[in-house]
């Protein structure tokens, strides 16, 4: 990704403002200054064609943090002189989306290309937020550009995904990181003034993990932690980052990577990995209440009916973290993390409601509720048969054999018990006994 502008008025402005992070000072302004992603920006890359023809479809950039998703979107807008609107999925709701679309609509005149609407972390938009984009994309009011670290096939609704091209961005290779480092230390004013001697790069590149922004953030940390000429060695980089782990982990999108690993470790029943990532988040300054909220979601989404007590414990942890704060909050967080990681797992409730919602959203039939399930508050309704034939379950020992589904959905199953879990095996056995194979 990151490459230094070769000069010019804008670059000179950055040179006089050392408080601007190095990653921003070195943000490329043209496609020729962009490092990496040769398959997209190289001589025959699709983004070269966009700039040559001016024809830009809506597209989604999928790749890990720090590989140039935002930068590439800004370059396209700048080189084509398109208005560029940006929203963050973390802080924006449907209201903000509609306001930006209305602003774009006012800028879109007859026979002029539409403005670009850049949605950072589009995978964090919920369905209603993504739905609010559809009309503007379909009508050509905006050209949508999404950036995501998650597979858009799972995180972007099909109607929106079908209207976008998806381009995959790759982590930067060592040679590209070296190119970025060379240009940074030879071209950035502050680095030139300090003087940088590179003796070893293994630790620097390892900690960067293919993330250009992270490499530049590490250089920022090293500059702030020392005086005089900066000597880059594996030992100096490792020592400095260990002393500044909070600053290091809060830069860029590091916490998204770690929270993802934390969630997947709990879901994968690995308490040791889960505790390790919990420790990294806490040491990195992550908000404890954010972690506690994730544990509540995990308890209901991934453990569910296999151990209903998990949700109770996660809620208790959430309340406790609110009451006591850090550093003591680390203890209930650790307790809940280990409990959830070692609990049996089931996502059947999560899957059941999603199946039912998907069915209802696409079901165009107005299926009437069976008469015997309707109340009869008026004489006319009583005469029409409302409530007739209803059996009060408690009068029949707790279960009455009635049809509760609409007539056309008899026997339809949304909940599928996971019989590999002891708790749900009992539920499945009870359903089979009561309904005699109907479900």
Residues 225, 259 within the same domain: no
Instruction: Indicate if 187 and 161 belong to the same structural domain.
Output: no
Reported as a single tens digit per residue, the pLDDT across 87-146 is 877 777 788 888 888 888 877 666 788 889 999 888 888 888 888 888 889 888 889 999
Number of domains in the chain: 4
C-alpha angle with apex 214: 211 to 219, nearest 5 degrees?
135
Residues 64 and 159 in one domain: yes
Closest CA to 418 of 307, 257, 299, 266: 307
Asked whether residue 242 is assigned to any structural domain, the reply reads yes
State whether 159 and 188 are in the same domain: no
What tokens were used for 281?
Answer: 């988040």
Domain carrying residue 284: 254-342
* Angle formed at CA 262 by CA 256 and CA 267, multiple of 5 degrees: 125
- Verify that 271 and 308 share a domain, yes or no: yes
Number of CB atoms found within 10 A of residue 201's CB: 18
State how far the Cα of 48 lies from the Cα of 42, in Å rounded to an integer: 7
pLDDT computed for residue 111 by the predictor: 72
Q: Are residues 79 and 193 in the same domain?
A: no
Looking at the structure, do residues 224 and 115 belong to the same domain, yes or no?
no
Exposure on the CB side of residue 381, measured as CA atoms within 13 A? 10
Distance from C-alpha of 11 to C-alpha of 34, rounded to nearest angstrom: 15
Identify the domain boundary among 138, 168, 198.
168
- Same domain assignment for residues 148 and 68: yes
Residue 244 lies in a domain: yes
Is 210 found in the same domain as 164?
no
What gap in Å lies between CA 274 and CA 270, rounded to an integer? 6
Q: Are 31 and 56 in contact (CB under 8 A)?
A: no
**Of the candidates 308, 260, 272, the residue with the CA atom closest to the CA atom of residue 423:** 308
Domain boundary among 250, 269, 303: 250
Q: Are residues 263 and 324 in the same domain?
A: yes
Which class for 81: exposed (0-12), middle (13-18), buried (19 or more C-beta within 10 A)?
exposed
Here the CATH number for the domain that contains residue 104 is 3.40.50.300
Cα–Cα distance, 353 to 236 (Å, whole number): 52
In a domain, 403, yes or no: yes
- At 284, which CATH number? 1.20.272.10
Residues 258 and 245 in one domain: no
Q: pLDDT value at position 225?
A: 82
Q: What is the CATH number of the domain that holds 201?
A: 1.10.8
Which of 141, 168, 195 lies at the terminal end of a domain, its last residue? 168
User: Tens digit of pLDDT per residue, the chain (439 long)?
Assistant: 434 333 333 333 344 444 688 888 889 989 998 998 999 999 889 999 999 998 999 999 998 888 899 999 999 999 999 889 888 777 777 888 888 888 888 776 667 888 899 998 888 888 888 888 888 898 888 899 999 988 888 788 889 999 999 999 998 899 999 999 999 998 888 888 888 889 999 888 888 878 888 899 889 888 888 888 889 998 888 888 776 555 545 444 555 678 888 999 999 999 999 999 999 888 877 778 889 999 999 999 999 999 999 999 999 999 999 888 888 999 999 999 999 999 999 999 999 998 998 888 888 777 888 998 888 888 888 888 888 999 989 988 888 888 899 988 888 889 989 888 888 899 989 888 888 878 7
Which three-class secondary structure state does DSSP give residue 432? helix
Indicate whether 161 belongs to any domain.
yes
Q: Tell me whether residue 423 is in a domain.
A: yes
Q: How far apart are CA 194 and CA 192, in angstroms?
A: 5
Are residues 117 and 85 in contact, defined by beta-carbon separation less than 8 angstroms?
yes
- 3 lies in a domain? no
338 domain residue, yes or no = yes
Q: Say whether both 127 and 178 belong to one domain.
A: no
Asked whether residue 241 is domain-assigned, the answer is yes
Which alpha helices (DSSP H) does 108-253 contain, by range? 127-138, 152-155, 158-161, 174-187, 189-194, 202-208, 212-224, 234-243, 245-250
């Amino acid at each position: 990704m990151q490459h230094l502008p070769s000069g010019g008025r804008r670059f000179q402005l950055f040179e006089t403002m050392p408080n601007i992070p190095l990653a921003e000072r070195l943000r490329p302004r043209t496609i020729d200054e962009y490092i990496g992603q040769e398959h997209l920006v190289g001589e025959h890359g699709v983004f070269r064609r966009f700039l040559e023809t001016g024809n830009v479809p809506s597209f989604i950039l999928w790749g890990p943090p720090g590989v140039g998703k935002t930068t590439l979107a800004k370059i396209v807008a700048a080189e084509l002189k398109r208005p560029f609107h940006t929203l963050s999925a973390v802080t924006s709701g449907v209201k903000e989306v509609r306001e930006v679309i209305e602003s774009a609509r006012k800028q879109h005149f007859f026979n002029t290309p539409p403005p670009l609407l850049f949605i950072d972390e589009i995978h964090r938009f919920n369905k209603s937020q993504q739905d609010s984009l559809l009309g503007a994309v379909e009508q050509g009011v905006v050209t949508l550009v999404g950036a995501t670290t998650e597979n858009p096939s799972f995180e972007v609704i099909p109607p929106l995904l079908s209207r976008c091209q998806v381009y995959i961005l790759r982590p930067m290779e060592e040679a590209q990181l070296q190119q970025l480092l060379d240009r940074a230390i030879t071209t950035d004013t502050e680095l030139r003034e300090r003087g940088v001697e590179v003796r070893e790069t293994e630790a620097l590149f390892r900690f960067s993990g293919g993330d250009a922004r992270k490499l530049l953030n590490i250089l920022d940390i090293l500059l702030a932690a020392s005086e005089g000429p900066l000597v880059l060695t594996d030992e100096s980089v490792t020592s400095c980052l260990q002393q500044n782990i909070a600053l290091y982990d809060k830069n860029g999108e590091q916490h998204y990577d770690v929270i993802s690993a934390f969630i997947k470790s709990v879901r994968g029943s690995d308490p040791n990995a889960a505790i390790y990532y919990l420790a990294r988040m806490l040491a990195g300054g992550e908000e404890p209440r954010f972690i506690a909220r994730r544990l509540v979601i995990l308890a209901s989404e991934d453990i569910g009916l296999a151990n209903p007590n998990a949700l109770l414990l996660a809620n208790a942890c959430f309340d406790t973290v609110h009451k006591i704060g850090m550093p003591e909050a680390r203890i209930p967080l650790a307790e809940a993390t280990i409990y959830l990681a070692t609990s049996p797992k089931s996502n059947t409730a999560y899957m059941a409601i999603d199946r039912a919602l998907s069915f209802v959203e696409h079901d165009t039939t107005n299926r009437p509720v069976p008469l015997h399930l309707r109340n009869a508050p008026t004489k006319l309704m009583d005469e029409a048969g409302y409530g007739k034939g209803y059996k009060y379950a408690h009068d029949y020992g707790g279960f009455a054999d009635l049809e509760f589904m609409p007539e056309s959905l008899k026997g339809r199953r949304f909940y599928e018990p996971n019989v590999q879990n002891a708790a749900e095996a009992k539920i499945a056995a009870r359903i089979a006994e009561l309904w005699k194979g109907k479900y």
